[in-house]
Chain A
Amino acid sequence: MKVWQCVVCGFIYDEKAGLPAEGIKPGTAWADIPDNWACPDCGVSKADFDMIEI
């Protein structure tokens, strides 16, 4: 399980925790998040930004 950070706004995505409020189950790998997903903080779409592993 990895932790990723949005390079635009600093938003942290923790694969272990998922994003239940957004319908993303705990344990969802970054690679398995749909391409139409957008960063909940800055609104940049998945295809539009790089997540860096931290």
Chain B
Amino acid sequence: MKPIIVLGSGLAGYSVIRELRKLNTSVPITLITRDSGDYYSKPMLSNAFAQGKDAASLIITPASAMAKQLDITLLAHTEIRTISRLDKKLDTSSGELEYDKLIMALGADPVRITLQGNAADAVLSVNDLTDYTRFRDALAGVKSVAIMGGGLIGCEFANDLATAGFEVTVIDPARYPLANLMSEEAGQQLLKPLTELGVTWRFGCAVKSVDSLATGYALTLTDGSNMQSDLVLSAVGLRPRLQLAREVGLAVNRGIVVDGKLRTSDESIYALGDCAEYEHGVMPYVLPIMQSARTLAKVLNGEDATVNFPAMPVVVKTPSHPIALLPVARDAIGDWQVLSSGAGIKMGFFDNQARMTGFVVTGEFAGERNEMVKKLAASWHD
């Protein structure tokens, strides 16, 4: 029997295998990864430094134990050369393999902005354990860190590094932090707690060039100002890994296009996680992965299942001012309304029929995300 082959050992790849094993203990599964295959929690990368954690201590279960636990064949440090869709074969750096079903759980790459200057390549991004090791090493002996991007990952790193005692500067073209995800009023809530922790905010501009100094780097910003920093970290977003899908002719848009059964334009190939574009769009967060992994496991087990995405709040790990939110589509019609405020704010985004389509809870209200999910559901039934 030809195996189900999963490409990628991140949360998406391992979650679908874990879910499938709950339903089916006999189907052969092969996992191919260009990484080590060690299971770790990616959300922890942006708040591990202040806790003194190195890459090894972030590993929850080593690759060999995962392979045993899930009864899979694991091919680590293996690159996919190409997929022959007609005869359902993979050409990899570990040899040729035939598949029955192929699962793309390839993840996403950090977006890199083209920079001028002789040290543009010295800008780091942290997207996996290897990156984290490099980043942690680079922080040794450093006092200041410039973070490009004041979104989710940028703000989490800012909080973490400022807690660890670094002078952090966050540079973002928007007017306030997390501007792609929530209201300006909510963004303002985060400013003061992080400022008190030692974060400097530079809104309305971006980094233009990075040049080496005797120690650290000289940065020129798009507003013409200059600053210096010992280290530059880029956290300006993620881009689904599409190259392989594109090369073999699968339908791609912003992500690898999948239907409600997580199937790509090839009926034997499926995709989920940060590389996928669901019917609702690209959703590079934890909860959509868990949701789609469960559905895909059922589909692979021969059951009739369609993915259903409920309201899935995103938790922003900024302990100085915790935030949970349900993002609103960029082109959504409606308004943000303040529901409560105090040491934090509670806001809902309402469409023109008074239905809630998004929310944000910060500070003292951050624990109310489940109540907000209920409130949102109720607003659709009234």
List residues of A whose CB falls within 8 A of some B CB.
Answer: 5-10, 22, 36, 38, 41-44, 48-50, 52
Contact = CB atoms under 8 A, between A and B. Distances in A.
Contact of A43 (B18, B41, B291, B324): B324
Dominant SS at the B interface? Answer: helix
Interface of B: 11, 18, 39-41, 43-44, 58, 60-61, 286-287, 290-291, 313-315, 317, 324, 367, 369-370
A42 B58 contact: no
Given A38-B370, A44-B287, A48-B290, A7 B60 contact: yes
B286 A8 contact: yes
Given A38-B370, A48-B290, A43 B60 contact: no
A44 B290 contact: yes
Nearest to A10: B41
A33 B312 CA distance: 21
B9 to A, nearest CB: 13
Nearest to B291: A48
Nearest to A38: B370
Nearest to A21: B367
A50 B43 contact: no
Contact of B286 (A22, A36, A44, A52): A44
A38 B287 CA distance: 12
A6 B290 CA distance: 13
B286 A43 contact: yes
B376 to A, nearest CB: 15
Nearest to B57: A10
Nearest to A54: B60
Nearest to B14: A7
